[in-house]
Structure 1
């Protein structure tokens, strides 16, 4: 404490010494600058101190300048009239060249008008409302923040926590309400909205504030954005705490101006208990050890508005030095002498325009912004960063930042303290605690009571009601509700009437088989759908005794699969022939016989009736794989054809909507349904063709009678109703034709109801779980859906090539690899003969023909030729050996027959070599 007191004394003493010791020459001129502040407030006194320090620091750094700014302070008395009077006095009597202030936005309007008339710049660092624009009033210069710059940071907080609705509470002055349009746009950009607005007068007493809070307490929204300044904000939050709205489940967010004050002034400790758990958006500043202020030794202050005042003082001093020529303290009173305006005696500042331009052009290192002080369009550019703070009993902590480029970044290690000293994130809304139940409207219907039955007001039941109750039970909080039958409609079951009741908030929600369509979504909000979607056509079926379509056997396979199967039949037959025809007589013959063998063998495998035996292991492997493929194809074909033959016996009476329109047939729809508009607007039916029905029994009777007998040829309805109808009538009726897209059934809520998001998530959980199956079994039975549903049954049962491409790939690769392996073996065995044969041919065609003829020859003929050649070679070798022996001089004994009797000498390697040479010569 002594150090702080000493620091203050040292700073002020240095300032006084500087003023006395500074060299004064005839060239240094004093320039009067006016200051309008509420000197009776702590903030006014604080700002004055920062202005003095800013001026002193400037001339301490620049001691040899020719000008000296002299601050002429005038107290506004915390009053708009007082501020105007002070500004008028400073301009008229002291002829100040600029005015710093006023302190509050409510005081600024008249002061700015005076400055504009007198050409005196009005420089303010606290008037931050968007209502005052420097571009519209050129002599108004803003050196503080513009309120509208913070709206994106506020919206980012709301988006981060998933809140969809907020209540705005603002000070009821034109200066504070100027922020509302910018807040509206910012919240809409993050899919949120301002659900309610409360304007509180600065002079409101405790009773008025309490009444407004009780009104807010009865609403669902629990997220409040507060835009006001002291002393109203202190009174307001004191009442917030007293009425029990500073408890768990509530969210309070304060705007920049109040956050800056609460984190810097002496008034927070005395009010801290009223602000615990509040979030705020705070100006991001660079703290500096050079700017410290001590108030009676109680606390240290690094005030945002004070730092802005410090920067403003330096900017004024620099600008005055820039406009130093001539007499700066000079007004020209003659320019307005003939003016009847009572303020014409103010005159015009000769240096005002030049001083304004100099202020706008000033640049230096800012103490408040932490960067360059530079004005653009008469004000500081938008800050790139805001701090997000959390107010605590003993001060405040920084939770993170909102950055223009990166958005909101909260520190995960910092737990947020919410109102009620809770660490659990509030959901942002709750059912009001005024004893009222959620009013749920139920449509009154004349049929299809399985979906919703409101005939007994004391006990409403149905498929839709069970799903709604299951969704409510799965919410992480309790919601009390009561059902009310919608009897307001002249037409029972008219959903459009029910939509209107929800729109007017006569119901808080509506539960029933209500279809989600675009027209309804414009006025109300729907949850996610809980049924499948679409409108289709219901028609009778013909009971044919036989098969009407003689070509039905072609339908089980698609065109692509037929062609692919034929191609692979041929490939398999060709592969077996390619391998077998050189060694197997069953595959020999003339060209026509061999082609016939290829096709016959391939197709006979389909019934495993091929009579040809195969010799090569390659062929056997190919056939085994192909048999497996054929087995799967034939089994699938049989199953598909069986299904089609069964369906063919129940043929729809018609499948094309255009036939109904062309023949002027009558069609039906469910009474009160939107399907009527679809039939007229989209399908182009005439109104005279339409018949409305309420129950499934009426559907049955109308379809049975037919259009010629007072009934209808078809009924159009949503798929859930059609399936319900077909549950026990599959053999008599079917669903055919195109399905017209809808979004299914959903629960209705008023626009922007906070329940929509939570109920949608709950519906999603129910429909994906076992509870949904239990509800369906309860209302529709175990096998609730008809297996025959579409005239496109043939198309749906057709087997596609894509389903078998894996099998075809395997058999194709096996066939190709087998042929390549076999042909490689052939080339290896016959390489010498092929070389000799090809060398003897001169033309390319001759060489190819010779090779093909060799490949077409039977292997037995080749083996016989080779054996014959080997035998001849052996005989020749023996003869040559005998000739060589006869030349020997050794006498030979004669046999009785007269032939030489001797054994041929053994064939040695040398003799075999000579014999081979002779054999080559002989050839």
Structure 2
């Protein structure tokens, strides 16, 4: 208790002497002592320049004084800041004069202020000259360059820091156009370039900028607001200081611009003071979205707010204000300066005198130079501490923040609807900052809490409206002398514009407008150039860019150059440019027409596979099938292979395929051949049936090489395309209508006409419908995006029209409208006018060839595996060299396989119904035997059993059946299918003349009639 009383005593004594110092004048030192101990506190002079007549300045000054008291009450110190306050009177010159006075006469070591960016621009020059740091928490304009003003310190956020948060909100609601409103000051202008860049990065356009003088009259404000009402945009961003900004909201509410359909946003300049505005101001701002720096809530801040309010009301009983963000930054600014001063090593407050001459004796020239300025500047720049506003840390002499608060003015104040952070984008609550994932990086309106918009509605404004002052959209249309099916302009005195515009393009545009949920009023205005003639399409599109027209409706093609200055809707007609030439009739038969059903690649591939399949079948059959052995010379076998392969084309092959793998391959190949032959026949029939028409020219290079004239439609971009292709301009001829098109072709190049024309696909369709028996489209199609409608860059109407065009195209309505518009021109039914290659291509059959190749490869691999396994004794023979092994394997591969050989033979005339074909199960002999006078019984039963010959004379009924062989399936033996029935012991077989017999051990015979048929013989 004694120590506490002693502490309170010294504290009271200190306040007493400090009060005397403030009231009695400037003292260089404050001396405190007890007994023989003395504490010397150095005075550190600091200038303060504010607009003291403004209530907000009183808010900030209260915060600064409280910061001074709190710092020295809680921190041991050896120096004390002493404020020297000056009034800038809202004037740039007064602010500069105050700074000169403070530096020259008072010799302050730092200046806090001024309030506005306009005043700061001049004051920072004085600070740099005298090395006195100018510290401002309210001069936020980015136009004040920190790099060019080394003694300027901004202890607040630069205005440009908030533009990304604003752009994120705009993107979240999909607004395509935004109009900024700002004051005509450094503060107002400074943010605009950064704001426009941020909006453009989210594909939002700024079609207009509204600038208000600070001293604008009410009439001037109302006039400008009425001007904004006549525009389509309904999203406004207000960047102003409080007095002017609040007046604009007041007038906007009176003229109905704070109603449903409008959206208003305010920057930090107004958003930071929302808690200080009275009820009438808040009432005029209902539904406004505000963006301001995020200040984390803490116990210290809450406690300070209570104490600040008590002190402010005591000092300013007639003013109702609340603590704002700048007041908090003012508090932290004083703490930062006091901390930096305590850390100074050189505390010499002296100024060195400036150099002057008789020619330059102004007050600015007489300013001294602070000796501790550089050290103080460095000390403040390096200060880091936990302040009321959060972490106080200057980067490049400027406060940094990556978090902004999004507020919605509703009811009696503002409520938080979201948070924006640099790393997470828009989130609902600050607690999600640590847990938010990358999904939050994309701005999403679902990440915001519900918002009450102007007009007391929760319906999100779409961001634009058709002007409500009965001003119609001025829509330009091309004037065409021909091709009136697309756009037709006729004079009509009853029309507002004096013209009546009809055609396919107009009907599509009206169909899209009719699907919109709102009405669009417009006037169609024919475009004519300064000479009164129809202008080019490029000139017509340019009129939208210079705002002469609000849109262009017509047969305008989307091109890259045009899309740089305007926006196009989705195309309503197909795109592409191709060549049209006269048809050359050829009634004679084409000698080589039989080759044209298939393209050459398909012919080559088919021929190759005939050879491949023939080779594969030969490999699989030649060791077990006598019919693939041919003569003694190898060439005979190759002849057999080729003959078999190509005969499969007509399924007339003589040789029978017996092996399982061979049948597998030939079955697949038969299917492929069947598909090919059927396709070939159908295509050839089509070519021979339909009257053939050939183009006179089909190669663009031929036209260029021989200097033939080519035509293009007047005003079309095709002219530039042809010049790029290499055509000489003198060979490019204009036509304006289908009639001129036909006339130019009838003349030809020799008479000043044309031999080819390049046109867009929609026009070609119309031309061929009119002259389908005379012209045809040939050659390459040069792709483009098609015909579309034109709107200004960022127009909000364009995307809506695009969606409706997509809708009517899906419904097929565009096609119906085109048929109705072109109906009068469809004069023939020949649909073969478009020249195209009817040859079948390899791409249509490559899968079949791939499957066939894989099956053939699989069969060969299996065959080789079995072959090598059966002849592994050759491979395992250690006494033979590798070369000898290879030769032995090749010989083995080529020779007959006596154990497996199956051949066909033709029964000679001597065969009779009693001759039987005998299979010996031990593979040693084959006999033709006489079974007696009775004809053999042929058993075609499909049952599975042992098989053999059964005759009445030769079978001993007492002889037991033995050595039966059971099959698991029907045994295919060519023309017959015999099932086994059993074997018999032919003990009493008798040789006949001319027929050799042998002992019949384990003999089995097939019940097959050999007379006049082909049979088997197995060795």
The answer to whether structure 1 residue 379 and structure 2 residue 398 are counterparts is yes
Q: Report how far residue 241 of structure 1 moved.
A: 0.9
Instruction: Indicate how the Cα distance of structure 1 residues 95 and 814 shifts in structure 2: closer, same or farther if over 3 A, else same.
Output: closer
Matched with 1:921 is none
Matched with 1:232 is 244
The answer to whether structure 1 residue 348 and structure 2 residue 399 are counterparts is no
| Further displaced range: 519-528 or 717-726 | 519-528
The answer to whether structure 1 residue 397 and structure 2 residue 415 are counterparts is yes
Instruction: Indicate how the Cα distance of structure 1 residues 848 and 475 shifts in structure 2: closer, same or farther if over 3 A, else same.
Output: same
The answer to whether structure 1 residue 147 and structure 2 residue 147 are counterparts is no
Instruction: Indicate how the Cα distance of structure 1 residues 30 and 498 shifts in structure 2: closer, same or farther if over 3 A, else same.
Output: closer
> Aligned runs of 1:587-626 on 2, under 5 Å?
587-590=628-631, 591-626=634-669
1:181-209: CA deviation from partner (whole Å, max 9, x where unpaired): 33333333333333222222222232221
1:382-413: CA deviation from partner (whole Å, max 9, x where unpaired): 42222222222232233333333444446625
RMSD: 3.7
Task: Give distance in 2, aligned partners of 1:662 and 1:345.
Answer: 80
Q: Report how far residue 461 of structure 1 moved.
A: 2.1
| Further displaced range: 533-542 or 394-403 | 394-403
Instruction: Indicate how the Cα distance of structure 1 residues 734 and 109 shifts in structure 2: closer, same or farther if over 3 A, else same.
Output: closer
Matched with 2:435 is none
1:501-521: CA deviation from partner (whole Å, max 9, x where unpaired): 444433322211122334444
1:404-436: CA deviation from partner (whole Å, max 9, x where unpaired): 344444662511222112222222222211101
Partner SS state of residue 477, structure 1: coil
1:668-716: CA deviation from partner (whole Å, max 9, x where unpaired): 22233333344345332342x3433222233223323433455422222
The answer to whether structure 1 residue 285 and structure 2 residue 295 are counterparts is yes
The answer to whether structure 1 residue 803 and structure 2 residue 833 are counterparts is no
Task: Give distance in 1, aligned partners of 2:354 and 2:614.
Answer: 117
> Aligned runs of 1:438-453 on 2, under 5 Å?
438-453=473-488
Partner SS state of residue 455, structure 1: strand
| Further displaced range: 780-789 or 499-508 | 780-789
Matched with 1:174 is 186
1:877-909: CA deviation from partner (whole Å, max 9, x where unpaired): xxxxxxxxxxxxxxxxxxxxxxxxxxxxxxxxx
1:67-105: CA deviation from partner (whole Å, max 9, x where unpaired): 122223344455555545544554455433322222233
Return the structure number with greater relative CO, CA threshold 8 A, min gap 6.
1
The answer to whether structure 1 residue 525 and structure 2 residue 567 are counterparts is yes
Partner SS state of residue 401, structure 1: strand
Instruction: Indicate how the Cα distance of structure 1 residues 163 and 585 shifts in structure 2: closer, same or farther if over 3 A, else same.
Output: same
1:545-597: CA deviation from partner (whole Å, max 9, x where unpaired): 2234x334333333443333223323433444444445544334323333222
Task: Give distance in 2, aligned partners of 1:15 and 1:756.
Answer: 73
| Further displaced range: 159-168 or 649-658 | 159-168
Q: Report how far residue 114 of structure 1 moved.
A: 4.6
Matched with 1:357 is 377
1:287-340: CA deviation from partner (whole Å, max 9, x where unpaired): 232132243599995631122112211122122223365653x45568659685
Task: Give distance in 2, aligned partners of 1:584 and 1:118.
Answer: 113
Matched with 2:70 is 57
| Further displaced range: 598-607 or 363-372 | 363-372
Partner SS state of residue 628, structure 1: helix
Matched with 1:309 is 330
Instruction: Indicate how the Cα distance of structure 1 residues 786 and 79 shifts in structure 2: closer, same or farther if over 3 A, else same.
Output: farther
Instruction: Indicate how the Cα distance of structure 1 residues 86 and 162 shifts in structure 2: closer, same or farther if over 3 A, else same.
Output: same
Q: 2:478–2:527: 8 Å Cα contact kept in structure 1?
A: yes
Match of 1:675 among 675, 697, 718: 718
Matched with 2:84 is 72
The answer to whether structure 1 residue 755 and structure 2 residue 797 are counterparts is yes
Matched with 1:19 is 15
Matched with 2:952 is none
Q: 1:38–1:44: 8 Å Cα contact kept in structure 2?
A: yes
Task: Give distance in 2, aligned partners of 1:847 and 1:169.
Answer: 98
Q: Report how far residue 352 of structure 1 moved.
A: 4.9
Partner SS state of residue 557, structure 1: coil
Matched with 1:540 is 582
Matched with 2:56 is 43
Extract unaligned runs of 5+ from structure 1.
Answer: 1-11, 872-923
Matched with 1:572 is 613
The answer to whether structure 1 residue 31 and structure 2 residue 82 are counterparts is no
Task: Give distance in 2, aligned partners of 1:128 and 1:82.
Answer: 20
Matched with 2:511 is 470
| Further displaced range: 512-521 or 817-826 | 817-826
Q: Report how far residue 768 of structure 1 moved.
A: 3.4
Matched with 2:699 is 656
Extract unaligned runs of 5+ from structure 2.
Answer: 1-7, 19-31, 314-319, 429-445, 904-918, 928-1019
Q: Report how far residue 371 of structure 1 moved.
A: 2.2
Q: 1:541–1:731: 8 Å Cα contact kept in structure 2?
A: yes
Partner SS state of residue 293, structure 1: helix
Task: Give distance in 2, aligned partners of 1:571 and 1:407.
Answer: 65
Match of 1:323 among 344, 355, 366: 344
Instruction: Indicate how the Cα distance of structure 1 residues 658 and 562 shifts in structure 2: closer, same or farther if over 3 A, else same.
Output: closer
Match of 1:245 among 239, 257, 273: 257
The answer to whether structure 1 residue 190 and structure 2 residue 202 are counterparts is yes
The answer to whether structure 1 residue 695 and structure 2 residue 737 are counterparts is yes
Q: 1:318–1:362: 8 Å Cα contact kept in structure 2?
A: no
Q: Report how far residue 141 of structure 1 moved.
A: 2.3
Task: Give distance in 2, aligned partners of 1:15 and 1:641.
Answer: 114
| Further displaced range: 844-853 or 272-281 | 844-853
Task: Give distance in 1, aligned partners of 2:486 and 2:712.
Answer: 17
The answer to whether structure 1 residue 507 and structure 2 residue 549 are counterparts is yes
Instruction: Indicate how the Cα distance of structure 1 residues 446 and 774 shifts in structure 2: closer, same or farther if over 3 A, else same.
Output: same
1:471-516: CA deviation from partner (whole Å, max 9, x where unpaired): 2223343212222333556444743453354444333222111223
Q: Report how far residue 630 of structure 1 moved.
A: 0.9
Instruction: Indicate how the Cα distance of structure 1 residues 786 and 399 shifts in structure 2: closer, same or farther if over 3 A, else same.
Output: farther
Task: Give distance in 2, aligned partners of 1:504 and 1:288.
Answer: 54
Q: 2:599–2:842: 8 Å Cα contact kept in structure 1?
A: yes
Instruction: Indicate how the Cα distance of structure 1 residues 344 and 475 shifts in structure 2: closer, same or farther if over 3 A, else same.
Output: closer
Partner SS state of residue 107, structure 2: coil
More helix by share: 1
1:269-289: CA deviation from partner (whole Å, max 9, x where unpaired): 441111121112211222232
Task: Give distance in 2, aligned partners of 1:151 and 1:649.
Answer: 68
Task: Give distance in 2, aligned partners of 1:706 and 1:62.
Answer: 101
The answer to whether structure 1 residue 388 and structure 2 residue 406 are counterparts is yes
Task: Give distance in 1, aligned partners of 2:353 and 2:548.
Answer: 68
Give TM-score, length-normalised by structure 2.
Answer: 0.75
Task: Give distance in 1, aligned partners of 2:405 and 2:39.
Answer: 49
Instruction: Indicate how the Cα distance of structure 1 residues 30 and 270 shifts in structure 2: closer, same or farther if over 3 A, else same.
Output: farther
Matched with 2:285 is 275
Give TM-score, length-normalised by structure 1.
Answer: 0.83
1:156-197: CA deviation from partner (whole Å, max 9, x where unpaired): 333333323221211122342222233333333333333222
| Further displaced range: 782-791 or 410-419 | 782-791
1:710-763: CA deviation from partner (whole Å, max 9, x where unpaired): 542222222211121112533321112233344322212344433233323333
Instruction: Indicate how the Cα distance of structure 1 residues 429 and 447 shifts in structure 2: closer, same or farther if over 3 A, else same.
Output: same
Partner SS state of residue 194, structure 1: coil
Q: 1:451–1:462: 8 Å Cα contact kept in structure 2?
A: yes
Match of 1:430 among 444, 449, 465: 465
Q: 1:471–1:766: 8 Å Cα contact kept in structure 2?
A: yes
